[in-house]
C-alpha cells in the first residue's frame, strides 16, 4: 500500500516531465503568441496588484514570472493562468497590516512567508486528494467577495488617485473617513493623470476592446511624467525596478510566532485562491472540453505559491481575465503561461527605466476600472433571482467583505456554503407521486385523488444520518394525512447513498406499517444502496420480494397486495392502469367492514386439487364465488354459485350452516375476508380456495365461461 501511495504522490511532482515529453511541436507557435498576448496584460496587472497590497512593483513582477511558470508546469488546466490577483492582493494587505508597516523589510518578509504557507496548505490539499472539497463552496462566495473587494479597492485607491497622505487601511469606513478628513489636500496633477487614465481606458475599450488598455495608459502616463518632469512637481511614481532575476528570499521559516500570526489569514487566502482557481479552470474547461484533475491543480497552485514566497514574491492565484485572454488568444497547452512569465522577465530588463516613471495615480485609475469590473452585476442579479440559499451566501459574504476583516469575510462565506449544503442535503424532498395520464411514468399531481391503500413517495436525496429524521417525519406525516394508506412504495431512484442511520429509519417505518397490517416496498433501488441493504441485513428483513423494477411494481401490488374489496367498494379513484377494468363504485345498503384485520391461521383453506376431488365426490361442497358478476362470467369453477361480496354481507342467511362451503375469488383475498367475517358470525363450515382462481388455473383444472 505504501508503494502505491508513493507512486501516486510522486506522479504529482513528476507532472512537468510527463507534460514536456508529451508536448507537440505543432502547439509551439500558438502557445508563444498566446503567451505574448497574456504578458502584455500581465505586466501592468502585476505592478498594479502589488500596489493594492502596498508591496513594491518588483514583488508583483517576481510573482507574475514565477507563478506563471511553476503553476503552469505543475497544474492541470491548459489555459488557467496563475499570478497576482486583485482580490488576493487586498486580502494580503488586510492580513499584513496588523503585523508590519508597509514599506518595511518586515512587511516583505511576512508577505513572502505567507505565500509559502499558502503554498504548503494548497499542496497538502492536493496530495491528500481533497480537491473535491472545493465543490462544497458555492460560487456565490466568489461573486459576493469579489464584488465587495472591488468596492474596497476602489475606495482604497482614491488615496493614490487624489495623492492624499494618510496610512493605508483596508477598512471601508476608516478609509472614507480619512479621505474626507484630507480632501483639502488633493494633488490636482495626480488627479488629472489618474482621471485621464480612466477616460483613456474607457475610450480604448469602447472602440478597440482587444487592445491592452491598462498597458497603453501606463505607457502614456509614464511618457507624460518623464517628458514633462512631473515627478518633480509632486507626482508620485513607482520608482526604479531592479533589472534582475527573482532573487532568493531569506525567510524565517521557523519563526513560529510569525507563523501563528499569519495562520488564520493564510487559511482564508489559501481557501479563496483554490475556489477561485478551480472555478476559473472549470469555466474554461467547459468551453475547451478539457478534463481537469482538481488534485493536480491544487498541487500546481501550491508549488506556485511556495516558489513565489521563496523567490521574493507574494501570494498568487488563478486570474479569470488572464486565463480568458490565454484561451481566446489560442493557447493550446500550459506552455502559453510559461511563455507569458518568460516574456514578463524579458520586459523587466527592457522597459525598467520607463516603468520607473509610471505615476501611482495612473495605476490607481487602472485599478479603479478593474475594481469596477469585479462587480458582476449581471451574475449577482441571477443569484438574487435564484435560490434563497445562494442569495443569502452572496449577500452575507458581500457585507462581511465590506465591514469585517477580509480573512473573516472569506471564512464566513465558506462556512455559510457548508451550512447551506448541510441544510439542503439534510432535508431531501419527499414527494407523493402518481402515474401520469398515460401511465408511462410517475409525476406529482396536487389536485389528483391518491390511491386509497397505497402511498407512492419519491425521495430526492441521500438517506444519511443528517437527513433521516426529516425523511422519516415526512413519511409519517403523509401517512397520518392519509390513514387508509397502509402500504408504502418508496421510489429510490434518486437515493445514491444510505448509511446505518438510514437503514434504522427504514426499519422503523417498516415496523410502524406492519403493525397496522400494511407493508413497505421499494422501487428502482440503486445498486450501491441495494448492496448496503444486503450487507446490513435490511434486504432480508424487508424481503427480497419487496424490491421491484419500474415495470412490475404496480402490477404486482395491485394483483397480490392491495385489497380488492377497497378497490371495488370504497375507492372512487382509478389511479393505476390496472384500476381501469374495475367496475364503478356502487352504493350498497350494507357497510362493508373493509379494514377488519384477519389474523393468520384463523381461516381454513383448501387446495385446488383437494377442491376438485371434493367436487367429484358423493357429498360435494357448495362453492361460492364472491367476485363481481363480470369477473365471474370471464371464467369460474363449473359448480360455483355467484354471490358478490356485498350481497353476501347483506344476505349471509343464503349460506347454509349444515353443508361445507368454499369461498372463491381471484387471488384469495376477498374470499378470505368473507370466510373470516362469516366465521365471526358463528359459521364453522366455511373454507377458502387457497390462491383463488389464479391457483385453479395454474393447476390446469377445468373452468367454465359464461357466453
Residues marked as catalytic:
665
| Alpha carbons 561 and 645: distance in angstroms, whole number | 18
Write out the E strands in 513-584.
519-523, 547-548
Q: 652-659 long-range CB contacts below 8 Å, 24 or more apart?
A: 652/678, 652/681, 655/622, 655/624, 655/683, 655/686, 656/622, 656/685, 657/682, 657/683, 657/684, 657/685, 658/685, 659/621, 659/622, 659/685
| Alpha carbons 43 and 348: distance in angstroms, whole number | 9
Q: Which cell goes with 365?
A: 485609475
| Alpha carbons 688 and 669: distance in angstroms, whole number | 9
Among residues 431, 414, 459, 9, the alpha carbon closest in space to that of 1 is found at 9
Q: Which cell goes with 118?
A: 499558502
> Contact at 8 Å (CB) between 122 and 82?
no
> Contact at 8 Å (CB) between 374 and 401?
no
| Alpha carbons 313 and 306: distance in angstroms, whole number | 9
> Contact at 8 Å (CB) between 261 and 389?
no
> Contact at 8 Å (CB) between 579 and 559?
no
Q: Sign (positive/negative) of CA torsion 129, 131, 133, 135? A: negative
**How many residues make up the chain in this entry?**
707
Q: DSSP secondary structure string, 615-658?
A: HTSSSPPEEEE-S-HHHHHH-B-TT-EE--HHHHHH-GGGS-SS
Phi, psi angle pair for 53, to nearest 5°: -85, 5
| Alpha carbons 50 and 355: distance in angstroms, whole number | 14
> Contact at 8 Å (CB) between 439 and 577?
yes
| Alpha carbons 507 and 518: distance in angstroms, whole number | 14
**DSSP letter, residue 636:** B
- The H or E element spanning position 225 is helix 213-228
The alpha carbon of 211 is separated from its chain's Cα centroid by a whole number of angstroms, namely: 38
What does the radius of gyration of the chain's CA atoms come to, in whole angstroms? 39
| Alpha carbons 666 and 670: distance in angstroms, whole number | 8
**DSSP letter, residue 175:** H
**DSSP letter, residue 463:** B
| Alpha carbons 104 and 115: distance in angstroms, whole number | 17
With cell 439542503, the residue in question is: 424
Which residue intervals of 139-290 are DSSP H helices? 139-161, 172-181, 188-207, 213-228, 256-288
Q: 594-600 long-range CB contacts below 8 Å, 24 or more apart?
A: 594/563, 594/565, 594/566, 594/569, 594/570, 595/484, 596/673, 596/676, 596/677, 597/517, 598/672, 598/673, 598/676
| First-to-last C-alpha distance (Å) of the chain | 77
Q: Which cell goes with 98?
A: 496588523
Sheet containing 622-625: which strands, arranged edge to edge?
605-606, 686-689, 661-664, 622-625, 641-642
| Alpha carbons 287 and 328: distance in angstroms, whole number | 11
Amino acid at each position: 500500500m505504501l508503494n502505491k501511495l508513493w507512486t501516486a504522490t510522486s506522479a504529482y511532482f513528476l507532472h512537468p516531465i510527463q507534460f514536456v515529453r508529451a508536448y507537440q511541436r505543432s502547439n509551439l507557435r500558438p502557445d508563444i503568441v498566446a503567451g505574448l498576448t497574456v504578458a502584455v496584460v500581465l505586466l501592468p496587472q502585476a505592478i498594479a496588484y502589488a500596489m493594492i497590497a502596498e508591496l513594491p512593483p518588483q514583488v508583483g513582477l517576481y510573482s507574475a514570472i514565477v507563478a506563471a511558470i511553476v503553476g503552469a508546469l505543475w497544474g492541470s488546466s491548459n489555459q488557467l493562468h496563475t499570478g497576482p490577483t486583485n482580490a488576493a492582493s487586498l486580502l494580503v494587505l488586510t492580513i499584513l497590516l496588523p503585523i508590519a508597516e508597509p514599506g518595511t523589510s518586515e512587511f516583505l518578509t511576512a508577505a513572502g512567508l505567507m505565500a509559502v504557507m499558502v503554498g504548503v496548505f494548497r499542496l497538502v490539499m492536493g496530495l491528500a486528494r481533497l480537491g473535491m472539497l472545493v465543490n462544497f463552496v458555492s460560487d456565490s462566495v466568489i461573486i459576493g467577495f469579489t464584488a465587495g473587494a472591488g468596492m474596497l479597492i476602489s475606495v482604497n485607491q482614491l488615496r493614490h488617485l487624489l495623492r492624499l497622505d494618510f496610512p493605508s487601511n483596508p477598512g471601508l469606513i476608516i478609509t472614507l473617513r480619512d479621505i474626507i478628513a484630507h480632501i483639502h489636500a488633493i494633488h490636482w496633477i495626480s488627479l488629472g493623470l489618474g482621471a485621464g487614465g480612466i477616460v483613456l481606458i474607457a475610450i480604448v475599450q469602447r472602440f478597440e476592446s482587444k487592445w491592452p488598455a491598462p498597458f497603453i495608459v501606463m505607457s502614456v502616463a509614464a511618457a507624460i511624467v518623464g517628458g514633462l518632469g512631473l515627478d518633480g512637481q509632486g507626482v508620485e511614481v513607482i520608482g526604479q525596478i531592479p533589472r534582475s532575476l527573482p532573487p532568493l528570499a531569506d525567510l524565517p521559516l521557523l519563526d513560529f510566532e510569525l507563523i501563528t500570526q499569519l495562520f488564520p489569514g493564510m487559511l482564508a487566502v489559501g481557501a479563496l485562491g483554490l475556489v477561485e482557481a478551480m472555478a476559473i479552470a472549470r469555466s474554461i474547461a467547459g468551453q475547451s472540453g478539457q478534463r481537469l484533475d482538481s488534485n493536480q491543480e491544487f498541487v500546481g497552485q501550491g508549488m506556485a505559491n511556495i516558489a513565489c514566497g521563496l523567490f521574493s514574491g507574494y501570494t498568487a492565484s488563478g486570474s479569470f481575465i488572464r486565463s480568458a485572454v490565454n484561451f481566446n488568444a489560442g493557447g493550446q497547452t500550459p506552455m502559453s503561461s510559461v511563455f507569458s512569465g518568460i516574456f514578463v522577465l524579458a520586459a523587466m530588463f527592457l522597459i525598467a527605466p520607463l516603468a520607473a516613471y509610471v505615476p501611482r495615480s495612473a495605476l490607481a485609475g487602472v485599478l479603479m476600472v478593474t475594481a469596477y469590473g469585479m462587480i458582476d452585476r449581471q451574475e449577482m442579479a441571477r443569484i438574487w433571482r435564484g435560490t434563497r440559499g445562494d442569495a443569502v451566501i452572496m449577500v452575507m459574504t458581500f457585507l462581511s467583505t465590506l465591514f469585517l476583516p477580509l480573512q473573516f469575510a472569506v471564512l464566513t462565506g465558506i462556512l455559510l456554503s457548508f451550512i447551506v449544503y448541510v441544510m439542503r442535503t439534510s432535508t431531501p424532498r419527499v414527494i407523493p407521486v402518481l402515474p401520469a395520464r398515460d401511465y408511462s411514468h410517475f409525476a406529482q399531481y396536487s389536485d389528483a385523488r391518491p390511491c386509497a391503500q397505497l402511498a407512492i413517495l419519491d425521495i430526492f436525496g441521500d438517506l444519511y444520518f443528517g437527513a433521516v429524521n426529516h425523511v422519516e417525519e415526512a413519511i409519517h406525516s403523509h401517512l397520518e394525512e392519509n390513514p387508509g394508506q397502509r402500504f408504502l412504495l418508496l421510489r429510490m431512484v434518486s437515493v445514491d447513498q444510505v448509511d446505518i442511520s438510514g437503514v434504522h429509519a427504514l426499519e422503523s417505518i417498516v415496523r410502524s406499517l406492519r403493525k397496522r397490517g400494511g407493508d413497505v416496498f421499494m422501487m428502482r433501488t440503486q445498486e450501491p444502496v441495494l448492496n448496503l441493504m444486503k450487507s446490513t441485513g435490511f434486504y432480508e428483513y424487508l424481503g427480497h420480494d419487496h424490491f421491484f423494477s419500474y415495470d412490475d411494481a404496480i402490477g404486482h401490488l395491485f394483483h397480490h397486495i392491495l385489497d380488492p374489496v377497497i378497490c371495488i367498494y370504497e375507492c372512487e379513484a382509478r389511479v393505476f392502469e390496472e384500476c381501469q377494468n374495475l367496475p364503478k363504485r356502487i352504493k350498497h345498503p350494507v357497510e362493508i367492514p373493509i379494514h377488519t384485520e384477519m389474523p393468520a391461521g384463523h381461516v381454513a383453506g383448501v387446495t385446488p386439487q383437494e377442491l376438485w376431488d371434493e367436487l367429484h365426490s358423493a357429498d360435494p361442497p357448495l362453492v361460492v364465488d364472491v367476485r363481481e358478476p363480470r369477473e365471474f362470467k370471464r371464467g369460474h369453477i363449473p359448480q360455483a354459485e355467484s354471490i358478490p361480496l356485498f350481497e353476501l354481507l347483506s344476505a349471509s342467511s343464503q349460506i347454509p350452516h349444515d353443508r361445507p362451503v368454499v369461498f372463491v375469488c381471484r387471488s384469495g383475498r376477498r374470499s378470505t375476508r368473507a370466510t373470516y367475517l362469516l366465521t365471526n358470525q358463528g359459521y364453522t363450515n366455511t373454507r377458502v380456495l387457497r390462491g383463488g382462481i389464479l391457483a385453479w388455473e395454474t393447476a390446469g383444472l377445468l373452468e367454465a365461461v359464461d357466453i
